Amino acid sequence: MDVQLFRIDDRLIHGQVVLGWARPLKSERILLCDNEISENAWEKELYGTCVPATMQTMICNTCETADFLKNQVKNDDKTIVLVKDPKAVIDIIECGYMPASINLGGIHFDDHRRKYLPYLYLNDSEVQQIHWLLDKGITIYCQDIPTSRKYDIRQIVGEAA
């Protein structure tokens, strides 16, 4: 079963997610999937402070996330899943859960990334990982908030070489 929003966003839980998406979607749960954060008490606490008390927060590693999505999620599940990069999605798929659609909501600048959109900077490996996900038949669209323009990722990064 699919969740309300399966999002790649390097800022993980922040205003665009909690206010921009979760409010109109009436989400009830945020599942932050990150292997490092799930092992780190203070980071878990930090991200926990970013979620309103009305929503449930789960912070899991990639295989726990895949297990939860395979076994616990129902048709009308009001969950937002957050990962920080395309590699985490590949890890979730390798643990047995395949999302149908991915929202690419934000990956920001660092030294090896090139600009594609104001909120999207990618390095060569990330572009390759996106093509790997597209080859699996997953729909990937770029959109930072619900009211902004939606782009098919293939328009942004082109077809695989």
The residue ranges that bind other proteins (CB under 8 A) are 10-15, 18, 42, 46-47, 49-52, 107-111, 118, 121
What gap in Å lies between CA 19 and CA 17, rounded to an integer? Answer: 6
| Between 68 and 121, CB nearer to other proteins | 121
Q: Between 13 and 60, name the residue whose CB sits nearer to other proteins.
A: 13
Q: Rounded to the nearest whole angstrom, what is the least distance from the CB of residue 36 to other proteins in the complex?
A: 12
**How near is the Cβ of 95 to other proteins at its closest, in Å?**
25
- Name beta bridge partners: 141: 103, 152
Half-sphere exposure of 141 (CA within 13 A, CB side): 14
Burial category of 142 from C-beta neighbours within 10 Å (exposed 0-12, middle 13-18, buried 19 and up):
buried
Beta strand 151-152 with 139-142 is antiparallel
Amino acid at position 25, single letter: L
Task: Give the CA distances from residue 47 to residues 11, 57, 87, 138, in Å, rounded to whole numbers and listed in that order.
Answer: 10, 9, 21, 28
Closest distance to other proteins from the beta carbon of 99 (Å) = 23
Cβ proximity to other proteins: between 31 and 66 the closer is 31
Tell me whether residue 19 or residue 160 sits nearer to other proteins (CB atom): 19
Report in angstroms how near the CB of residue 111 gets to other proteins at its nearest. Answer: 8
Amino acid identity, position 110: D
Closer Cβ to other proteins, 15 or 24, answer by number: 15
Tell me the closest approach of the beta carbon of residue 35 to other proteins, in angstroms.
16
CB count within 10 Å of CB 137 equals 8
